[in-house]
Amino acid sequence: MTSLKDKVLFITGASRGIGKAIALRAARDGARIVIAAKTAEPDPRLPGTIFSAAEDIEHAGGQALPVVVDVRDEAQVQAAVERAAERFGGIDILVNNASAISITGTAETPLKRYDLMMDINMRGTFACAQACLPYLKKAANPHVLVLSPPIDLDPKWLGPHPPYTASKYGMSLLALGMAEELRQSGIAVNGLWPRTIIATAALNVAKQGLAERGRTPEIMADAAYQILISDSRTCTGTLLLDEQVLREAGVSDFEQYSVTPGVAPQIDLFVNP
C-alpha cells in the first residue's frame, strides 16, 4: 500500500494530541476516521473535542465520525464499533491510543488511579481489539496499532512507578500476543512508542515547560503512517520507536519535529539513550 485512501480507522483518544495527529495524517490521504474519545465538551486545560477534531479531519481531506466512547465501558465500545461499521462499511485499522498515566510509586498511587490505568490502558486496548476483530478479519490490509513501549526489564523502569509500567508493558504484551494469535488471519498488531517526549496539552498539564524539550505529535503520526501502509502479513509482532521507523523509511531530518529548534529533545520513559 502507498495510501490510506478510503481506509476506515478507529482511533481511541483522537480528540487531541497524538491520536488526533495520526488521524490528520490519514485524513490527508482521504481516509475515514472514527474519533472514539470521551471529550464532547471543551476543557480549558485540554483544548479539543471530538467535534472540533472532526472538523479538522474533514478540512484535511478525510471523513470523520465523532463518537463519545469511554474505552472502559464495553457497551460503549461495542456500540461505537457497530456505528462505525454501519457508517463506513467496516473497519480496516484500529489505533489504541487512549491512555492514563500516573508517575507514582506504590504508596503514592491510590487504588482508584491504579484501576484507571489498568482499565484504560490494558482493558481498553483489549476491549477495542475484541470489538473490532470481526471487521478486521474482513479487511484487505488490517492493522492494530497499540501506543505502548518496548519491554525493558531494567529495574530503573520498574521501581519508580510500578503501576504505570505494568499497565504500559501490559499493552505491549497484548500487542505481541495478539500479533501471534492473529498472524494466520493476516492481521498485523504492532506497538509504537516515541523515542523522545511528545509535546501535547496533557504533558503541559502534567509538568509545565517540559513540552518545550519535546517533539511535536507529527513525528508519531508520520511513524504510524509508515506502519499502517505496510503489508499486514509481514509487518507484525514488533514494538517500535518512532525514530526507528522513520529512519528505515529514509527520514534523516528530525529537527523538523522539534518544539524548540536547536534544543536536544528529552528521551522518553522506557527508552535508553
Residues with catalytic roles: 164
Burial class (CB in 10 A: 0-12, 13-18, 19+), 212: middle
Task: Find the length of the chain.
Answer: 273
Alpha-helical runs (H) found in 28-123:
50-59, 74-88, 111-117
Give me the sign of the Cα torsion angle 178, 151, 255, 266.
positive
Cell numbers standing for residue 190:
504492532
Cell numbers at 77, concatenated: 465500545
Closest CA to 84 of 37, 20, 135: 135
- In the chain, what is the straight-line distance between the N-terminal and C-terminal CA atoms, in Å? 33
DSSP notation for 118-158: IIIIIIHHHHHHHHHHHHHTTSSS-EEEE--------HHHH
In contact, 222 and 199? CB cutoff 8 Å: no
- Rounded to an integer, what distance in angstroms lies between the CA atom of residue 265 and that of residue 124? 30
